[in-house]
Structure 1
Amino acid sequence: MTMLYEGLPPAQRTVPQMLLRQAAMYADRALLTLGTTRWTHADAAPRAAQRAGALRAAGVGRGDRVAIMSSNRVEVLETFLGCGWSGAVAVPINTASRGPQIEYFLANSQARLLVIEAQYLDRLATVDLGKTSLQQIWVLDGSDAVGAIGEVPASAWPSEGPALEAEAVGPGDTLAILYTSGTTGPSKGVLCPHAHYYWWGVNTLRVLGVRQDDVLCTTLPLFHINALNTYAQAALIGCEVVFEQKFSASGFWTSMGACGATVVYLLGAMVPILLAQPEGPAEQAHRVRIGLGPGVPAEASAAFRARTGVQLLEGYGSTETSFVIGTALDSPRRGVMGWILPGFEARVADEDDVEVAVGQAGELLLRAQEPYAFASGYFNMPEKTVEAWRNLWFHTGDRVLREADGAFRFVDRIKDAIRRRGENISSYEVEQVLSSHPAVAAVAVYPVGSDLAEDEVMAALVVRPGQSLSLPDLAVWCESRLPHFAVPRYIDVLEDLPRTENGKIQKYKLRERGVSALTWERPQVPRKPSV
C-alpha cells in the first residue's frame, strides 16, 4: 500500500515543503529531542525560517555554501534546515577531520560561512584560510568577542534573525554537499538535491516499516547522511526522533530504554562492539522492535537478536544514491544485502557495463526511476561525475553478485577505499600524509581484515636511502594529521613495493600478503566510554 508521504508531487519534494507539510499535518506532535532541546512538528518550520533569516543577514544567499563542523547539537540541524529553507547549501564536515582535510573541504566547497563548535577551533590553526572563500565564522559556545581567526571575522552563534519567507527552491536544487571518501584521489563532494533527501527518508521508512507511533533513535553523527536521513523519516511520517550525542557501547541500551526508542540505527562494526559488552538486563529492558544494520554479518545479526530481541535489517545505499537495496522482516532469508527496492534498477556488470550472468560477480550499477532521486554529481569534479554516471548508470565501485532469487550479495570493493568503524577512509588521503614524512620514499595504503567485520588500515612503505624511521614516531606524525580512525594500525617496511610494468603499485599483492610476523602493529588504546 502506498503511504501518503510517498505520493508527494515532485514540486513538493523539497525541505521547505516538507517542513510546511509536517507543521500542517502533525502540528503539536513531538518531533525531536536533542540534548535539552525539544521540538514539536510545528516548531521546525519557524526555526528554519528564523535561522534562514540569520543566514541572509550574514550575507549568505541562494546557492552559497555553509560549512558545519560540530558534534550532535540542535544548531547543526537548525543550520541544515535553514540552508534548505533559504536555498543555501549545507556542507557538513566530519568532526574527526584535521587541518589538511578541513582546508580541502572549505576550499573545494567554496564555503562563505563556517559554523564550528568551539572545541574544534584549534583544528583551524593549521588551515590556511586565505586559500578558502570563507568570509565569516560562527562559533558555537564561543565568547561574544571572538574577533577573528586568521583574516576571517569570527563571532558567537547569533540569535535567530527575522523569519525569512521560504525560498522557491525546486526538487533538483542542491540542498547539501556531502563529502565521501576519495578512492584514487581527493574526497568528492556529493551534490545532494532536495528530492534526493526526500527519497532517502521515503525509502528508509519503507524498509523499516516506520509507524507514526515510533520513536526513532540514532547515536550516529549529524555530518553523515544516515543521521540527517533520520530527521527526514520523522518529518515525513509524523513520528518522533531522538538524537544522542554519541555512540556509547556501555550505555547504549540504557539510553535506548530511557528515551523509549522503538527503531535504532547501527553500522556494521557497532554490532560486534555491542556484543562484546557484558550481558545485562538493559539489553532486554527496552521497546526497540527493529533496527537498521547494513554491513552486519549474518552470524552477528543472529546473535544480536538472540540477546536483545531486535531484528536488524540489512541493506545497501551510498551517499550518491539512497537506500536502494534492502531486506524486510518477512524476507525469505538473511545474510544478503537484500532485494532492489521499488523505484530503482540494478545491474551487475563487467568492465564494459555488460550485464553478467546470475551468480557471477561484477560491479553493482544503479539507476533511479524518479527525478532527482540520486545525487546530481560531484561538486567541481566534472570528470569524476561523468566517470561515475557513465552510460546512464551510477557505478558504485562495489563487486556483488545477484543470486537466483534476485537477492544481492556483497563480495568486495573495487574502489580503493577502506571502511573502518563505520567511517569511509580514502587510502589516497592517508598516503598523502605518510608520503609527506621526510623519511618515506614510497607508500601504499590498503584494507586488511578486522575482527569487527569491517577493515583495518594497513600501510606498506619504503624508507628513503640513508634515512632511519621509527614506526611509533610515524604513527604520532599521522595522529596529528589524520582523523583517529584513519591512522594505520599495521605498517610494513619493505625494500620495494610490488609494481606493474608501467610502475603502478599492485595493491592486491599487498592485500594478499596481509599482516605477517614482521608487521608492526600500533598499540590500540581503548577509547574512553561516553557518559
Structure 2
Amino acid sequence: MELTETVVEQRAEQPRLFSSRTLPALLAARAARSGNQPLFSDGSTVWSGADALEIASRRAGSLAAHGVKRGDHVALLCGNRTEFMEMVLGCGWLGAVVVPINTASRGPQLEHILRNSGARLLVAEAHLVDVVHALSANDLPLQRIWIIDEPTADSHSPAYETIALPPAAEPIAAGEIGDGDPFAVLYTSGTSGLSKGVICPHAQFYWWGRNTGGGLGVVPGDVLYTCLPLFHTNALNSFFQALVNDAHLVVGRRFSASGFFDALVNTQATVTYVLGAMVPILLGRPATANERRHKVRVALAPGVPGHFQKEFTDRCGIALIDGYGSTETNSVMGGDVSAHRPGYMGKLNRGFDARVVDEHDQPVADGEPGELILRADEPFSFASGYLGMAGETVKAWRNLWFHSGDRVIRESDGYYRFVDRQKDAIRRRGENISSYEVEQVLLSHPSVETAAVFAVKSTLAEDEVMAVIGLRDGEALEPLDLVRYCEPRLPYFAVPRYLDFEQELPKTENGKIQKFKLRETGVTATTWDLETSGYRLKRR
C-alpha cells in the first residue's frame, strides 16, 4: 500500500489541526521520516509507516461514513491482529475514542463495560459475538455490531444491527484533536467495586512510547515482539514505542510457553515483553536451542521476582528490566539495563515526581512502607480520570497526586521496591481481577448466601483466586458445580481456583466480612482445589 497524495494534501491544508503528541501527528511524522520501513505486523500482514497513515485515514473514513463522530466511543472485542490496530488508528485519526475490551470478559463484567462506555458501535471477532448476545440488551447503549471475519448463523441478533466489517473508505482529514483529547478508554478491574474505565489522552501514549522505549533502549530498526494482549496498556504502548522510535512491532496471537523462543527467532526480534508469571513458566520447561538462537537483548519484565531474573538472563541471554507503571499513569520508574537492580522497580524516571506516604498523605521515611503517589511534569502524560465515576476520580487524584493504592518502599539511594497492594485486587496470569466482580457472580447463584474473594500466594510469583462461600439454609453445593456456574459468567482467569464452604464468615459489627482473617487462614487441608480436580476451564 502507498501513501496517497490525498492524505498528504489534506495535511498540508490543515497544519493547525495537528499537535505534536496526537496520533495523527505521530503517524504523519513517522511516514515522513521512514515511511517505507515496517511499523506493524501480526505475522501475516506487514504495514509500513506510510501504510499505517493511509490505513488510519481510510478506516476513519469508513467510521465517519457510518455516522461515527469525534468524541464517540467505539468498543472493540478483538485479539492480536491487524484489524485491532486498524480500528485503533481509525478512531484516533477521526477523534473518536476506542474502547478495547478484554476478550475473556463475560456476563456482568462485559455488560458493565458496554453500559459504562456508552459505545453504540461494537467491532468484534465473529467467534466472540455470542457472548454479547447472551447479555440483557434492555438498557445497553449498543446499537450496531461490525463483525470481523465471516459472520456465522449465531452472529446475528434482533437486538442489534449486525453487518460484516465495512471495507476501508476514501481517506479523510484528521479530526481537530489536541494532546489532552481522549484517545482510548481502558478498563481496569475495580478493587472494591465495578471496573473503572480509564480515560487515556493522546499525549499519554506518546509519553508511554518515549519513556518505555527509552528505558529499553529502542532504536531505529529494532524489532519489538509481544504476545501480550493489545487490549492492555503494556502491549498497546509497545506500538507507540515502535511508532516514535522508528522500530517495527510484531504481535503474536497469545503467549505459548512451548513456542515463545521459536517466535523470537522467527520474527528476528531484538526486544520483547514478559510478565511476572511468564518467566517461571519458561524456566520450568526443558531448555531448547532457540533459547540462545534469538537476537533479543532486553525484555521489559515488570513483576518478575528477583531470584528468577539472573537465572533467566544466564540461561536465555536476555536482560530483564523491571519498572512501574499503571493504566492511569505512565512508565514512571525503571531505567536502562545498567541501572537495573533485581527485586526493585528501579528509580524514578525523568519527568515524574513520587512520594511514599501514610494514610494522611504525609511522607514516610526512606525504608518504611507506604502508599505510592505520583505526579507528572508534562501535561496529559497521565490519564484524565475514570469514565462516569467522578467520585472515584476525585478519590484517586486527591491532593493533586495520583494515589496508586500500591505499598512500596523507597530506599535512601532512590530505588523503589514493591511490597504489596493496598487495594482489594488480585493479580493472576498477568490480569487484574476485581474481587467484587467475582463475588457478584458467586452471589447470583441461588444456593449462595455470602461470598468473600481474595488473593492467596501462587508458586508462579503472582496470585491465585480463593473464595469462601456461605450457603443458604438447607442448601448443598458441590465445588465443581459452582465452578461450572462461574465459567460462562467470568473470564477464565477470574474463576476461583480454591473454594471453602463455611457456615459463618467472620464479620465486623456492621456486617462487613473481615477478609483479613480469611487471608490469614488461607488454603487449608480441607480447601477444594480446581487444579487437582481434573477439570480444565475452557479458554475462549
Cα drift, residue 186 of structure 1:
0.3
The unaligned stretches of length 5 or more in structure 1 are 1-8
Could you tell me whether the CA contact under 8 Å between 2:322 and 2:340 is conserved in 1? no
- Could you say which residue in structure 2 is the equivalent of 1:30? 38
1:239, 1:528 → 2: CA distance? 38
Distance in structure 2 (CA, Å) of the matches to 1:181 and 1:351: 23
Question: Identity of aligned pairs, percent?
Answer: 54
Given candidates 448, 451, 456, the residue that maps to 1:440 is 448
Pair 1:350 & 2:354 matched: no
CA RMSD of aligned residues (A): 1.8
Task: Choose 31-40 or 449-458, whichever is displaced more.
Answer: 31-40
Partner residue of 2:126?
118
Equivalent in the alignment of 2:525: 517
Q: State the secondary structure of the residue aligned to 2:332.
A: strand
Alpha-carbon contact 2:126-2:151 (below 8 Å) kept: no
Which residue of 2 is the match for residue 198 of structure 1? 206
Aligned-partner SS, 1:186:
coil
Structure 2 counterpart of 1:229:
237
- Output the CA distance in 1 between the equivalents of 2:132 and 2:141: 14
Find 1:372's aligned residue among 349, 368, 380.
Answer: 380
Take 1:496 and 1:213, find their aligned partners in 2: how far apart are those partners? 61
Instruction: State the match for 2:283 in structure 1.
Output: 275
State the Cα distance separating 1:100 from its structure 2 match. Answer: 2.2
TM-score between the two structures when normalised by the length of structure 1: 0.96
Q: Could you say what secondary structure the match of 2:239 adopts?
A: helix
> What CA distance in whole angstroms lies between the structure 2 residues aligned with 1:326 and 1:373?
16
Decide whether the 8 Å contact of 2:130 with 2:154 is kept in 1: no
* 1:420 maps onto 2:428 in alignment: yes
- What's 1:498 paired with? 506
Structure 1 residue corresponding to 2:192, chosen from 181, 184, 190: 184
Pair 1:239 & 2:247 matched = yes
Q: Distance in 1 between matches of 2:493 and 2:127?
A: 19
Are 2:96 and 1:85 aligned?
A: no
1:118-517 map, 5 Å: 118-143=126-151, 148-331=156-339, 333-517=341-525
CA distance change for structure 1 residues 529 and 134 in 2, over 3 Å: closer, same or farther? closer
Q: 1:3 aligns to what?
A: none
- Give me the whole-angstrom Cα distance separating, in 1, the residues matched to 2:170 and 2:478: 57
Amino acid in the other structure paired with 2:365? A
Give the distance between the partners of 1:328 and 1:273, measured in 2 at CA. 25
| Greater alpha carbon shift after TM alignment, 195-204 vs 29-38 | 29-38
C-alpha separation in 2, matches of 1:99 and 1:54: 30
**In structure 2, what is the equivalent of residue 68 of structure 1?**
76
Correspondence for 2:26? 18
Q: 1:27/1:184 Cα in 2 relative to 1: closer, same or farther (>3 Å)?
A: same
Where 1:323 maps in the other structure, the secondary structure is coil
Cα distance between partner residues in 2 of 1:333 and 1:216: 23
**C-alpha contact (below 8 Å) 1:440/1:461 kept by paired residues:** yes
> Which runs of 5 or more residues in structure 2 are unaligned?
1-16
Greater displacement, 134-143 / 57-66: 134-143
Partners of 2:225 and 2:264 within 8 A in 1: yes
Provide the TM-score with structure 2 as the length reference.
Answer: 0.94
Tell me, yes or no, if the aligned pair for 2:126 and 2:152 is still in contact at 8 Å.
Answer: no
Q: 1:26 to 1:526 in 2, by over 3 A?
A: farther
Aligned to 1:142, the other structure's residue is in SS state coil
What's the offset of the Cα at 1:129? 2.4
Which secondary structure state, in structure 2, belongs to the residue aligned with residue 466 of structure 1?
coil
